[in-house]
Structure 1
C-alpha cells in the first residue's frame, strides 16, 4: 500500500512539473519581462537594508564606497538604502563624480576594445537577456565606460572581480533603477 502511494505521488509530481514547464515555456514575460514564473537566479549575500546615513548629499544621490563594497542611495531624514556590490579588481578601481546619463532595461553588451584586448575570447556583442553579463538593468555613468549593472552571479557581490563596473544582483539593481533618475549624481569613493 505504501509503495502504491509513493508511486502515485511520484506520478502526480511528474505531471505537475510537466505542466509547469509547459506553462513556463509559453510565457516569454518570464525571460524578458518579469512574468509570474521569472526567477533572477539568486539573492544577494549582502541584503539590501535601510541605514542611518548622515551626509551633505541630497536625497537621490548615489554614493559608491569601493573599499566597503557597498552602494548607498541617499534618502531623506539622515537615511540611505545600502546595497552590496561587486567592484573593480586591483588595477581597475576608480573614483570621481558623475551623473547618470542613461538607464536601460535588459541592455545589450558590447565589450570595449580594452577588454577585448585582454579577453579575445569574449563575444563582440550580446543582445540583452538573462545570460547577458549586464543583467536585468544598467545605469550608465556619464561618458565613462562604467555602469552600475545587474549580474547573474550573485556570489560575486562583495568581491573585487569586475573591470571597473559595479555589479549588483538583478533584484537589487532593479530596485535601484526604479528609484533613481537620469541626471542624478553618482559619487564613487576609492
Structure 2
C-alpha cells in the first residue's frame, strides 16, 4: 500500500481544496460569469474552459447561419428551411470578416465594447457600437468577432466594421432569440 508523508498529504489536501473553492466561487458569483468586454483579450467566456459547450441544444442542431460577405446578407435556416434574411455590414479593408465554418460561442445582452486599437471601453447604452446584443463566433485569443447590433444603422450594407457582422438592432434582437450556443455559422466570401 502506497502511503504519503504527513506533509505531502497536507499539501495535497490544500491544493485540491483551493481548486474546489475557486471553481465553486466562480460558478456561484454572477459577477464572475459576466463576459469581459467584447474585443478584449479575455473575451472568451469561462464556460469554454469547463467543457459546457459539449452539450449542444436541439435548437442549435437544427439552426444554421449562412453569411455572404459579397452580397452583405445573413440567412437563417431552421431545419433546412430559410426562415429569415438580414442585410448586414461587414469588416473593412485590413479588418476583414473571417471566412469559414464556425459556431456561436458567446451570447450576451447589452454588451460593453472595447476598441481594438485604443483599448477604450464603451459601456452599454446609446453610444455603444455593438447595440443591444452580441453573438460571438470567432476569436484568436486577443480579438473577438461576431454578430451585433449597431448605433449607426446607416452603414448597414457596407464594409465598415473591425471584422464583425453588424445588423440593425431590431434584426440582432430577432436573431438572438432564434440561435443558441453551438449554432453553426458559415461565412462565405
- 1:81, CA displacement in angstroms? 0.9
CA distance in structure 2 between the partners assigned to 1:136 and 1:128 by the alignment: 8
Note if contact 1:103-1:140 (Cα within 8 Å) is conserved in structure 2: yes
Q: Secondary structure at the match of 1:173?
A: helix
Q: How does 1:11-22 map to 2 (within 5 A)?
A: none
- Residues 74-124 of structure 1: per-residue CA shift (max 9 Å, x gap): 123632311000011223222011111111111011123xxx1xxx4xx61
Q: 2:86 aligns with which of 68, 71, 83?
A: 83
- 1:147, CA displacement in angstroms? 1.3
Instruction: Tell me the TM-score normalized by structure 2.
Output: 0.62
Number of residue pairs matched?
Answer: 125
Query: Structure 1, unaligned stretches of length 5 or more?
Result: 1-57
Query: Structure 2, unaligned stretches of length 5 or more?
Result: 1-60
Instruction: Tell me the TM-score normalized by structure 1.
Output: 0.61
Note if contact 1:130-1:136 (Cα within 8 Å) is conserved in structure 2: no
Q: Which runs of 4+ in 1 moved over 2 A?
A: 75-80, 90-94
Say what the alpha-carbon RMSD is for the aligned residues.
1.7
Q: How does 1:46-125 map to 2 (within 5 A)?
A: 59-76=62-79, 78-93=81-96, 94-112=98-116, 116=117, 120=118, 124-125=120-121
Q: Which residue of 2 aligns with 1:41?
A: none
CA distance in structure 2 between the partners assigned to 1:163 and 1:133 by the alignment: 11
Note if contact 2:138-2:146 (Cα within 8 Å) is conserved in structure 1: no
Q: Secondary structure at the match of 1:182?
A: coil
CA distance in structure 2 between the partners assigned to 1:107 and 1:96 by the alignment: 25
1:139 aligns with 2:135: yes
1:174 aligns with 2:173: yes
